[in-house]
């Protein structure tokens, strides 16, 4: 358990009961709601297009080259489902932590109607990535690799549309 210095700014990316899920120094943590207050005179401007599939993909591309880390959920290292969860959390969409649970979120999509931002599941649900268009997807592949965009050259088990 750590103590944050008073006045430090954090990004709130989720809320459950009286706890805030926050992003602080590229790490996800939880803080009791009584200890968080909104920054005065700060506004976040949301555009109508802020939660578009294209903006999700653009945000995901910021993490190209981040190493795969089993169980990783931060820019210090991601596993496949941690990467997808982190990307969508930036847009206020709280996905479950593990691939098998992420498979049940959103709307089923057939492989012939994929759109940028759709979640793609492989190996019976053992791997997940985000469709990047033109027959490619962005994902955190496996130990020894980094977040990358690769061609869809294997069977998609199922696909889900979140946006």
Per the annotation, the verdict on 80 as an active-site residue is yes
- Is 85 an active-site residue? no
User: 80: how many CB neighbours lie within 10 A of its CB?
Assistant: 25
Q: How many other C-beta atoms lie within 10 A of the C-beta of residue 44?
A: 7
SS (H, E, C) 86-150: HHHHCCCCCCCCCHHHHCCCCEEECHHHCCCCCEEEEHHHCEEEEEEECCEEEECCCCCCECEEE
């969860």: which residue's tokens? Answer: 85
- CA 135 from centroid of its chain's CA atoms: 20
Question: Please, what is the angle between helix 80-89 and helix 53-61, to 10°?
Answer: 120
**Candidate list 120, 121, 139, 162, residue with the active-site label:** 139
Tokens found for residue 12: 């709130």
**Is 127 among the residues known to form the active site?**
yes
**Catalytic: which of 13, 60, 80, 119?**
80
| Spatial distance between the Cα atoms of 12 and 20, rounded to a whole number of angstroms | 6
Annotated catalytic residue within 87, 116, 127, 162: 127
Query: So which residues are the catalytic ones?
Result: 80, 127, 139
């Amino acid at each position: 358990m750590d103590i944050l210095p008073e006045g430090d700014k954090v990004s709130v990316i989720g809320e459950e009961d009286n706890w805030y899920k926050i992003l602080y120094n590229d790490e996800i943590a939880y803080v009791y709601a009584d200890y968080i207050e909104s920054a005065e005179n700060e506004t976040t401007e949301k555009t109508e297009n802020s939660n578009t599939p294209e903006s999700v993909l653009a945000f995901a591309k910021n993490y190209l080259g981040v190493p795969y880390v089993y169980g990783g959920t931060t820019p210090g290292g991601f596993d496949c489902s941690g990467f997808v969860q982190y990307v969508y959390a930036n847009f206020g969409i709280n996905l479950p932590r593990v691939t098998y649970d992420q498979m049940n979120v959103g709307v089923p999509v057939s492989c012939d109607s994929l759109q940028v931002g759709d979640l793609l599941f492989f190996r019976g649900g053992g791997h997940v990535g985000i469709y990047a268009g033109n027959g490619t997807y962005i994902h955190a592949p496996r130990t020894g690799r980094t977040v990358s965009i690769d061609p869809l050259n294997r069977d998609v088990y199922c696909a889900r549309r979140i946006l």
